[in-house]
Chains A and B, each alone.
Chain A
Amino acid sequence: MDDLLTDFLAETAEILAEAGGALVAWEADPADRARLDAIFRLVHTIKGSSSFLALPRVTALSHAAEDALDQVRRGHRSANAELVTGVLGIVDRLSQLCALLGQAGAEPPGDDRDVIAALAADGETPEAPETTADGGEIQLRREDDFAIDAQGWRTIRVPLPLLDSVMTGVTDIVLARNEFARMLRETGADPSLIASFDRLSDSIAGMRQSVSQMRMQRIDKLFAPLPRIVRDLAQDLGKKIRFATSGGEVELDREMMENIRDPLIHIVRNAIDHGIEKLDDRVAAGKDITAGISVSARQSGNQIEIEVRDDGRGLSPDALVQKAIAARLLSAADARALTPREKLDLIFRPGFSTASKITAISGRGVGMDIVKANVEKIGGVVDLRNDEGRGLAVVLRVPMTLTIISGLMVRAAGQYFAIPRGSVREILLETNDSVRIERIGGGELVTVRGEPFPLLRLETVLGRQRDPGDDVEDRALVLVRPGQGQSYALSVAAIHDHEELVIKPAAPMIMATGLYAGTTLPDNGRPVLLLDVQGILAAAAIDASETGRGLDRTVEADASAAAERGAAQLLLFRDVGGRTRGVRLSVIERVEEVPALALFESAGRIQVQIGDDIFPVHAARLPEDHGALKLLRLYDGQMVLCYPIEAVIDIVRLPDMTQPAAAPGLIAGVALIGGEPVEIVDPFWLMEQYAPGVAAAAPAARQPVCRLADDRDGWGGNFLAPILRNAGYRVVPENSDEAADVLLCLTDAGICAQDGGDVPVIRLRASAAAASADDDTVYRYDRGALLDALRRHVGGGRP
């Protein structure tokens, strides 16, 4: 068949599908001029291309439809159901013709006068259109007709196998690149060679990205035939249905789209046939007689969620059980043990049909079991959200593409496996404090922040022994959510990394194990199996549903976790003297482990050499033993100070209540943590001790001067002054003669002993709570508020 005709057929098939949907939408709202214009343009395009290829029947049909629509456009004819039915009749005939054209390669002879006459329902018979190409009058196009055609030139049609071969080619290139990279590393190539190789790598990565995008299509295409199906079916069944789609801009891999087309249509048919009640029943139920069905798509991460929602009668779990028993799928005894969710899931059993009798509409031997199987085949999930009496939503969750997914690489039994990133909820180390693993009755369960999960060991699932080389410290839990309302913890020997993976189906006997969803070739060139998180669940035969696991506690735990994130955190450690102390986590840059020999004494101070840098160490003398030493590296934004510790204990929330120390010094105060008193280290004081000559280092620019007033107990001089200096202010004592820019009043009585004159005054109070709403004093441990107030009054300082 010649290429021109192939292109025409492919294009026309698309246009016809789109036109069908658009016509139905226009019928619902005949005033929508933009839509009418769009339909007109579609028909016009078919007419134009067909006259080119000398297809007189196609030209005549599209001409008739175009004519009728143009009359509406010009206001000579009103839009009504007959007109729409007439145009749809032409669309159908065109589809049939195109199918025949595809088989025969030439237009079959035939008579289309019946459908053309049906369009002239207003009585006036339109003059029989010319059926020859040269006679076909090409209407002068209006301005708006050009817009869409101009776009048409910007895309080209490419056969899918070609795209696939490009894809395979790119994957080959990536693998070759990796091999090459390994060789470069091993031979120690010179930097300029590596640099140009890196450039090559970058462009290959970009190309791989583009190729996967090439296969993406808007999900609109999938939705296009639905309005037509709904309209026809609703008319046949005498139901009134308002149909809406949304999220058509979401993109999906082409191949994926092919795979969910039939399941989606089936679900929509089911909704109309079984879900939506008869008109009388709707009235009796107090519902609007016009039922609503909506299909929406949205992208969440690497997955696409397509929801078909209706406001019909929903599913009745008990009725489902009755039917399952009647169909001998289930014994009455088994039925009693079912949870409500399991009862709903009965509709996915083979041989189950929800209609009392099989209807011509949905009962074609294609049940929900086939839908489920088809969706699962491509790594998707079908989920039901039932609201008995008020409606049902069927949710299809499918990966965005069959070919490239983001995968988490894990290790177990000495080999690597991939887990689809989309179904991973959280990753935790087994040694994490919020994880509790218990063995109950031979099974294992793990409690994470109060929420229990069934625990599966990947080695056990795969029937393998643990690799003796594994480090117990590396063992991690992957919290997996294979479907809505289900979750479990998968214990693996180690987490490797995550990668964009090209997924290919594995051989049937490997897929038959139910444990794998495919194979992939990561960058190291060794095949890796992609785990089927749903299949593992089935193989382990555990109940992973979240219901009844104490969800309230989950909510609580989540809330407290959120509160924890908001609050300041404290690093608990044991210092070299064996005492438990804490320091605000935010001032710690990292924990360093150095050999004791890296410490040396110079100018009466202990210093440490880390890499090329030398930092002061808070220690009175050099350590005696020569082992390794842990150092907390404190950083104030300018300088680093190392604080030697014995071990890190934990990270906890900084308690609201701390008892300030009587005298200023290393310890700012004491707090109760887990019932034990913990000394809180004052990093400000510490930093001040080791600051390299505050005055000498002061920049030439004038620093704002703060005068401390009423500093009776020395708190201001010892506690506050370092903070202020740190923030870029110069602090002068009360009796200084120097003109101050701001006065800090340290009494909480509200009266300052010294008159500020025209110098702004900031008053500090000792209690955390403000005395009244218009209290303008600042709590003296509220560093942020104090510095804000200073900045407001005098400016300067470092944020």
Chain B
Amino acid sequence: MMEKLYLIARIADTRVALRSRSIHSVVAVGTPVEVPAAPPHVAGLFALRSRVFTLIDPHVVVGLAPVPAIAGQRVVVVDVAEHGYALLADAIEDVCFIDAPEARVTGKLLPGWARVAEAMIEHEGQSLLVVDPAHFITLPALKAA
């Protein structure tokens, strides 16, 4: 059943579905601390209990202008290679079971989205991109340079 559980959220101005098993938790972020000289998609650091998480701005990853984090904004916490990251979400909508199968992405996506989207899924009469949060952590080489 777990593999059918999705988190529906608005990330980088787009409604997406995140597979629940790839997500650690959803929390509210405190005031982040900036990281000077870090890649542009690093929005800062924040502490949750005694762990320090790196805040990622998905806008930058998909090629949009950065949007500053607001204290209390909700973030999607993921663990990638033993490091904790948090994706800034515009809105967290729901956690729900989607019985429909994941389908191949049809249509041409923007390059930024093409890199993070793995599939599409039909939910309540709408097509949602299924994204892997781990893809948001690293920027493509041409951007980082």
On chain B, which size bracket covers the interface?
20 to 34
Contacts of B34 in A (CB 8 A): 415
Residues in B neighbouring A415, C-beta threshold 8 A = 33-34
> CB of B39 within 8 A of chain A?
yes
Given the contacts A519-B45, A527-B45, A529-B45, A510 and B35 also touching, CB distance less than 8 Å:
yes
A462 to B50, Cβ gap below 8 A? no
Instruction: Give the segment of A136-144, A501-509, A713-721 that binds chain B.
Output: A501-509
Given A527-B45, A527-B46, A464 contacting B36 (CB threshold 8 A): yes
CB-nearest residue of chain A relative to B33?
Answer: A527
Q: B50 near A515 (CB under 8 angstroms)?
A: no
Question: Which of B33, B47, B50, B138 has the most chain A CB atoms inside 10 A of its CB?
Answer: B50
A504 to B45: give the CA distance in the assembly, Å.
13
Contact in complex: B52, A509 (CB < 8 Å): no
**Neighbouring B residues of A175 by C-beta, 8 Å:** 47, 49-50
Q: Verify A506–B54 contact, CB threshold 8 A.
A: yes
Q: Which of B39-61 contact A (CB under 8 A)?
A: 39, 42, 45-47, 49-52, 54
A509 pairs with B50, CB closer than 8 A: no
Query: Which B residues, 1 to 58, have Cβ-Cβ distances below 8 Å to chain A?
Result: 31, 33-39, 42, 45-47, 49-52, 54
Q: Is the CB of A509 within 8 A of B38?
A: yes
B39: chain A residues at CB < 8 Å are 509
Residues of chain A lying within 8 A (CB to CB) of residue B138? 509
Report A161-188 CB contacts with B as 1/0, cut-off 8 Å: 0000000100110110000000000000
Query: What is the number of residues of chain A that contact chain B, defined by CB distance less than 8 Å?
Result: 30
The complex places the Cα of A505 from the Cα of B45 at a distance, in Å, of 13
Could you tell me the distance between the alpha carbons of A507 and B137 in the complex, rounded to whole angstroms?
10
How far, in Å, is B54 (CB) from chain A's closest CB? 4
A731-772 at interface with B (beta carbon < 8 Å): none
Interface residue ranges of B61-114 to A (CB < 8 Å): 81, 83, 85
Residues B113-145 near A (CB distance < 8 A) = 137-139, 144
Contact for A171 among B50, B81, B83, CB less than 8 A: B50
**In the complex the two chains form, is B50's CB within 8 Å of A513's CB?**
no
CA A510 to CA B85, docked complex, whole Å: 12
Partner of A172, one of B33, B35, B49: B49
Residue of B nearest to A463 (CB): B37
- 8 pairs, A vs B, C-beta closer than 8 Å: A175-B50, A413-B36, A463-B37, A509-B54, A510-B38, A510-B54, A515-B36, A528-B33
A171-B50, A520-B52, A527-B52 known; 20 new pairs, CB 8 Å cut-off, are: A168-B50, A172-B49, A175-B47, A175-B50, A415-B33, A462-B37, A504-B52, A506-B45, A507-B54, A509-B138, A509-B144, A515-B36, A516-B35, A519-B52, A521-B50, A526-B33, A527-B33, A527-B46, A529-B33, A529-B45
Q: Which 6 A-B pairs have the closest CB atoms?
A: A462-B36, A527-B45, A171-B50, A507-B54, A172-B50, A519-B52
Q: What is the interface of chain A, defined by CB distance below 8 A to chain B?
A: 168, 171-172, 174-175, 413, 415, 461-464, 502, 504-510, 513, 515-516, 519-521, 525-529
